[in-house]
Structure 1
């Protein structure tokens, strides 16, 4: 029997003294997904990931990896070998070279020759540090160090990868390089959970997202369904003519919910409840009405806007 869920939790609770860090989380992630975990600081994301990585024992509840129950004791070492965990503060050994560092972890995972050397070459090529193999870790940039940490996490070819704030503090180029590596790992069939505050990165990478608030998983859905349900369509419209004429035409359209005049005065941002065909109809009606348009651009609210909107709902 094939288990469709790479990760499944039932009634997962983690309590520290009187503080409940993770509160009754039922999580289901299908094999091959990139699942984005988002939420404010203190929402329970790191604690949840640590439990999934067998680095923290649940107070209550169960975790299953590919249908097998995950336990923190020594009863299932083979299952733990299928996990790769990159915490947000993992130390590197600055006095080692890149090659020696990876070789050390490959030996810890009992990779034998010739597979060990082959695997080191593979991950160095993936993280684009082959030319730095003999460099001391202390000489690497922050982005290079983070890619090296990822290489250490995947050296043993895990099937589930757990990444806690992996792009924290990286510049845009380093974040882009990291994203590209994650995409390659997903294409290779790996299931990936990634928590991040950089929601634009998650929107580009993820197939599904989970939103945590105060230890609870308040949303868990595919990114596509989240957009369909909560992302309003917006249209930016610019005109050479009188903005009042444009507004007069927009008020006649029942799918125009509200609008905002932009600082340039000749541009509007419109919230629009129609689909793509309705957008085309609106554009046609404006042109037919003689409104001199210079820009008509349809967009959707992004993941950050949806998250902030959900946060306000939870708070109210």
Structure 2
């Protein structure tokens, strides 16, 4: 099946915003769970929302899904405002929301479960049967269509929950910790489904504590701390601005000689000997072309290098670094 069959049609190729909030705030008694958030997510993006427990991620997602009323502030979904104290039926039709604790009905078969929700969304034949077949194929559960949900693995149940979430062909998907408790293979299967949905034109906002998954999936990332959105930027920009490049070097020669030579280069910072290994790790503030120049210079200086390996700090390191900055 081609990716385009999963959605009615992709959004226009523009920078139209799928999500826009202004001063969004949610207060429970004296506790402010979400504090004055201005969030913008462009149509077609996969936006990752990260932060520690209690940062306000779930409350923010619930407000975007119209499952929680804001205390103050405004929410726009594809340019249309979510109105407080109203049911917003047309806007809800565009949204698919998968909370982190949505129950499945274990005594139903996979097909009957999806058929039940398709009827709630008033899908009519022949579209209803066609849609059920499409989402079952997407989440790789076609062979399980007659199986009782009680017999499915945790990963299968989570993929079934995703199928239920997209049965009505929403254009915005809100996922709250969808891979929590899944094993690596199940997480990989879930990631591939998310990639397919993005390719079909869907906008996806996903929260997760598995930052390696978000780094692979997301085009942009938002970081929440104590109810505030402390960072929101394209992932590539975050890496460029906050991720330091590290180089690991090994040599057949004396490591003190290598360290002394490295000190001649202003882009080399924080030279560190790796204990138990004949290696040095340095922070390097240059670009890839400048790291290539460093390698050439070391070879020309007669350093018998056996390893010159460049890496960048990952999303988890960036998150921990930003969290430390907020604390201090």
TM-score class normalised by the smaller sequence: over 0.9
Superposition deviation, residue 52 in structure 1 = 0.2
Please give the per-residue CA displacement for 1:221-263, whole angstroms capped at 9, x wherever unaligned.
Answer: 1001111110111111122221111111111111001122223
C-alpha distance in structure 1 between counterparts of 2:249 and 2:152, whole Å: 47
**Which residue of the partner structure matches residue 236 of structure 1?**
248
**Residues 56 and 72 of structure 1 are in contact (CA less than 8 Å); yes or no, is this contact kept in structure 2?**
no
Q: Which ranges of structure 1 fall in alignment gaps of 5 or more residues?
A: none
**Which residue of the partner structure matches residue 9 of structure 2?**
none
Matched, 1:14 2:34: no
Please give the per-residue CA displacement for 1:178-221, whole angstroms capped at 9, x wherever unaligned.
Answer: 00000000001101000000000000000001000000001011
**Which residue of the partner structure matches residue 207 of structure 1?**
219
Q: 3-state SS of the aligned residue for 1:182?
A: helix
**Residues 37 and 229 of structure 2 are in contact (CA less than 8 Å); yes or no, is this contact kept in structure 1?**
yes
**Which residue of the partner structure matches residue 93 of structure 2?**
81
With the length of structure 2 as denominator, give the TM-score of the two structures.
0.94
**Which residue of the partner structure matches residue 4 of structure 2?**
none
Q: 3-state SS of the aligned residue for 1:57?
A: coil
Aligned length: 316
Structure-to-structure mapping, 1:102-113, within 5 angstroms: 102-113=114-125
Provide closer, same or farther for how the CA distance between residues 111 and 72 of structure 1 changes in structure 2, counting only shifts above 3 A.
farther
Of 293, 306, 311, 2:305 maps to 293
Please give the per-residue CA displacement for 1:276-314, whole angstroms capped at 9, x wherever unaligned.
Answer: 111001100111122121211111110000000000000
Please give the per-residue CA displacement for 1:110-139, whole angstroms capped at 9, x wherever unaligned.
Answer: 111111110111111110111111111111
Of 176, 189, 196, 1:184 maps to 196
**Which residue of the partner structure matches residue 16 of structure 2?**
4
Q: 3-state SS of the aligned residue for 1:161?
A: strand
**Which residue of the partner structure matches residue 67 of structure 1?**
79
Provide closer, same or farther for how the CA distance between residues 235 and 68 of structure 1 changes in structure 2, counting only shifts above 3 A.
same
Please give the per-residue CA displacement for 1:67-88, whole angstroms capped at 9, x wherever unaligned.
Answer: 1011354453111110000000
Matched, 1:39 2:87: no
**Which residue of the partner structure matches residue 163 of structure 1?**
175
Of 285, 300, 316, 1:304 maps to 316
Of 236, 240, 263, 2:275 maps to 263
**Which residue of the partner structure matches residue 49 of structure 1?**
61
Hey, which bits of structure 1, 4+ residues long, moved more than 6 A?
none
Q: 3-state SS of the aligned residue for 2:229?
A: strand
With the length of structure 1 as denominator, give the TM-score of the two structures.
0.98
Deviates more, 1:256-265 or 1:149-158: 256-265
Please give the per-residue CA displacement for 1:6-48, whole angstroms capped at 9, x wherever unaligned.
Answer: 1100100000000000000001110000000000000000000
**Which residue of the partner structure matches residue 274 of structure 1?**
286
**Residues 269 and 283 of structure 2 are in contact (CA less than 8 Å); yes or no, is this contact kept in structure 1?**
yes
C-alpha distance in structure 2 between counterparts of 1:245 and 1:118, whole Å: 69
C-alpha distance in structure 2 between counterparts of 1:222 and 1:92, whole Å: 35
Provide closer, same or farther for how the CA distance between residues 223 and 192 of structure 1 changes in structure 2, counting only shifts above 3 A.
same
C-alpha distance in structure 1 between counterparts of 2:283 and 2:147, whole Å: 53
Q: Which ranges of structure 2 fall in alignment gaps of 5 or more residues?
A: 1-11
Of 218, 239, 262, 1:227 maps to 239
- RMSD across aligned positions (CA): 1.3
Q: 3-state SS of the aligned residue for 1:110?
A: coil
